[in-house]
Amino acid sequence: MTSITEPVAIPVITVDGPGGVGKGTVARWISKRLMFNRLDSGALYRLAAIAALDRGIGPDAADRIAALCHGLSINFGEDADGHERITLDSIDVTQRLRLEATGEVASHLSVWPAVRNALLQRQRNFRQRPGLVADGRDMGTVVFTDARLKLFLDADVRARALRRQRQLSESGIAARIDDLCVQIAARDARDRNRIVAPLRAANDAITIDTSNLSVAEVEERVETLLAVHGFT
Ligand code: DC
């Protein structure tokens, strides 16, 4: 009798959710915990936004942005202190990448199917041994539908606005909570209501509401899920 052995798929954990919910913190923690590679897919959309802005291309020029995406030379690295360093065509864009204005443009251009398709294979290329943790909006629903563990983080708008206010004040920037709530709600609406790959939990995702949880409490829950799913 012959036995056919299937190649063992490289394991993927997806972490989806709206902006400001703490996906990056959780994904970074999992990737350190399991020594997995990490894909910050939002950063790819933000890099596309920077590339388009620098060339004077508006966020509605879907085909031109898609063409740009195919040619982007991107590097995700860390400096000596372990802080992320992201370069676009060899230029350090780490700080620009995190600006609210960059996120806004990224959210606009990400509604176009041509742009999403242009970034699809690039995202899948991050699936390398020993495993991958990928965070974004559609990691579990589109990009890695066969992920072994899918998490969906959620939190109410006010909780996310408070976190954002704290982050901004650490950088010396004052912001009003009501203004932040309006901004966050507008971005949510765009990400959730677009036709292609809208933000939503995959049917097989486990949702964690982080509104009233500390980072340590979220990590504790994820630790349990990692064990249940055979990662530890
Ligand atoms: O997570 P972030 O704030 O870095 O993402 C910026 C924008 O990019 C977000 O508003 C929508 C888009 N995005 C997306 O459409 N799909 C993803 N997987 C990740 C981000």
- Domain shared by 28 and 51, yes or no: no
CA 173 to ligand 1 centroid distance, Å: 23
Contacts of 3 by beta carbon, 8 Å cutoff, 6+ apart: none
Residue 90: inside a domain: yes
Statement: residue 207 has pLDDT above 90: yes
Q: Which runs of consecutive H residues, i.e. helices, occur in 23-156?
A: 23-34, 41-54, 62-71, 94-97, 100-109, 113-124
State pLDDT tens for residues 50-107. 999 999 999 999 999 999 999 999 999 988 888 889 999 999 999 999 888 999 999 9
Asked if 150 and 165 sit in the same domain, the reply is: yes
Are residues 214 and 134 part of one domain? yes
Domain residues for the domain of 176 are: 11-36+130-221
Our answer on whether the CB atom of 191 is closer than 6 Å to any ligand 1 atom is yes
Q: Peptide bond before 198: cis, by omega within 30 degrees of 0?
A: no
Does any ligand 1 atom lie closer than 6 A to the CB of residue 123?
no
Does 116 contact ligand 1 (Cβ within 6 A)? Answer: no
User: pLDDT tier at 1 (50, 70, 90 boundaries)?
Assistant: low
Pairing mode of beta strands 37-40, 12-16 = unpaired
CB 150 within 8 A of CB 222: no
Structural domains counted in the chain: 2
128, 152, 182 - which closes a domain: 128
Distance 148 CA to ligand 1 centre (A): 22
Read off the CATH number of the domain in which 192 is found: 3.40.50.300
> Facing residues of 13 across strands?
133, 149
- Condensed to tens digits (0 to 9), the pLDDT of residues 110-122 reads 999 999 999 999 9
Of 229, 191, 227, residue with least CA distance to 21: 191
Does residue 81 fall inside a structural domain?
Answer: yes
